[in-house]
Amino acid sequence: MSEAVPAKEAAALDAADGLAAKRAGFDLDDGVVYLDGNSLGALPRGVAGRLSDVVGREWGRLRIRSWEESGWWTAPERVGDRIGGLIGAAPGQVVAGDSTSVNVFKAVVAAIRLTDTGVRDEVLVDAATFPTDGYIARSAARMTGCRIRAVDAADMAREAGPRTAVALVNHVDYRTGRLHDLPAVTAAVRAAGARTVWDLCHSAGALPVHLDAAGADFAVGCTYKYLNGGPGAPAFLYVRRALQDRFDSPLPGWNSHADPFAMDPAYAPADGAARGRVGTPEILSLLALDAALDVWDGVDLAAVRAKSLALTDFFLRCVEAYVPRGRVESVTPEAHGERGSQVSLRCAAGPAGGAGDVMAELIRRGVVGDFRRPDVLRFGFTPLYTRFADAERAARVLGEVLEGMQGR
């Protein structure tokens, strides 16, 4: 297949792209096609300058005064509200801090504590979950006298029953890119009398999420993927407002105390989102995240979603055009309503090696995706900076690599 037709189409799509100008807000090199923003988002240009001010002036000159004067102390709630704006949460319900793993622990244990554990002793976990969620949920269940039951996320609504305390679900499956129906599952789990904890790692910043509207109970997610907060950026925790007064954190650190500086030996929880805090916030990474979130100012998430679907559709068509027939198979759902912002291609081992070797060769040729064992090539599409031309080039290079490896 000649490259002329898809390349021309890519140019037309890029020219008509209302989000195209957003790419200039990122520090990207045109020689590389970066399709791994679902693992580590690219660097927004504003971060370095902001961090240099935080380090040089706020820490260097103001030192301890910055906890008040530079707003460090309240940054977890302030940044949490900015994230809330991107996941359909009204202010006061999201706090930034800790890792997703730690926030899964807080949310699952708190959800169990909200139920009558004598009756409800079952924790449902998405059978294909990102491993950390499963490990943490299992430990939370052991600590609370519950048991874990792994069920297909697609069956979660049907499986929640009178024994279920909480269902922990990945909104988008990290391996296949399958998007689960958050409103429907939330409603069904609630109808069964249980709570939901949503892991938004692969949906926050990738597509519109409407936590409040869906009546979700808890949500967690990381900020170094589609939110571009940087390596190890703090995660977030959402607790629905109606549950905040009863939210009983299993990690009640001094930062979540109603009056932290009273240094009271007795614990009294703070009101609102601050109750989700634990210890001293990770200020440098939190403020890097704060700066990174500036790229979202004025962005319409519906436009992000439309471009994401157009990009993944276009990439799949280019793969069909360029890749030798039968060499790869998409495991990402075709239906838009079931697709996140990535394409995962199963690539069986050929004469030249397996999917890991194919991805290594792609990266050598300037197309960066990632490989998930045993046989998945994963390509993440980040609408704020991925161009249709990138999708075309990635598919073309993939075709060249697989052709070159055939019969070798």
Task: Check if 365 is active-site.
Answer: no
b/e burial code for range 382-392 (CB count within 10 A of at least 16 → b) = bbbbbbbbbbb
b/e burial code for range 321-337 (CB count within 10 A of at least 16 → b) = bbbeeebbebbbeeeee
In angstroms, give the least distance from the CB of 156 to ligand PLP: 15
Quick one: which of 338, 344, 354 has its CA closest to 315? Answer: 344
Task: Check if 23 is active-site.
Answer: no
Beta-strand pair 370-372/376-380: antiparallel
> Interface with ligand PLP includes 36 (CB under 6 A)?
no
Q: What would the two tokens of residue 267 be?
A: 């614990």
Residue 187 and residue 215 in contact, taking contact as beta carbons nearer than 8 Å? yes
> Interface with ligand PLP includes 130 (CB under 6 A)?
yes
Task: Check if 225 is active-site.
Answer: yes
What residue has token string 């939190």?
286
Residue 74 and residue 289 in contact, taking contact as beta carbons nearer than 8 Å? no
CB-wise, 84 or 234, nearer to ligand PLP? 234
Contacts of 339 (CB under 8 A, 6+ apart): 177, 178, 179, 309, 312, 332, 333
In angstroms, give the least distance from the CB of 113 to ligand PLP: 22
**Is 199 marked as binding a ligand?**
yes
Q: What is the 8-class DSSP label of residue 123?
A: E
Residues 292-351 that bind ligand PLP (CB under 6 A): none
Check 120, 378, 387, 393 and give the catalytic one. 378
Binding-site member from 70, 132, 139, 330 for ligand PLP (CB under 6 A): 132
Binding-site member from 125, 197, 201, 204 for ligand PLP (CB under 6 A): 201
In angstroms, give the least distance from the CB of 133 to ligand PLP: 5
**Is 133 marked as binding a ligand?**
yes
Contacts of 371 (CB under 8 A, 6+ apart): 355, 356, 358, 359, 360, 377, 378
> Interface with ligand PLP includes 199 (CB under 6 A)?
yes
CB-wise, 132 or 139, nearer to ligand PLP? 132
Task: Check if 317 is active-site.
Answer: no
Residues 71-110 that bind ligand PLP (CB under 6 A): 99-101
Q: What are phi and psi of 319, to 5 degrees?
A: -60, -45
Binding-site member from 82, 175, 178, 202 for ligand PLP (CB under 6 A): 202
Q: Which stretch binds ligand PLP (CB under 6 A): 51-59, 129-137, 255-263, 312-320?
A: 129-137
Q: What's the rounded Cα separation, in Å, for the pair 175 and 158?
A: 23
Task: Tell me, residue by residue from 152 to 171, as one string, x for binding to ligand PLP by CB under 6 A and - for no binding.
Answer: ------------------x-
What is the end-to-end Cα distance of the chain in Å, rounded? 21
**Is 130 marked as binding a ligand?**
yes
Task: Check if 130 is active-site.
Answer: yes
Which residues contact ligand PLP (rule: CB under 6 A)? 99-101, 130, 132-133, 170, 174, 199, 201-202, 222, 235
So which residues are the catalytic ones? 130, 199, 224-225, 378
List, as residue ranges, the binding site for pyridoxal 5'-phosphate: 100-101, 130-133, 199, 202, 224, 254, 280
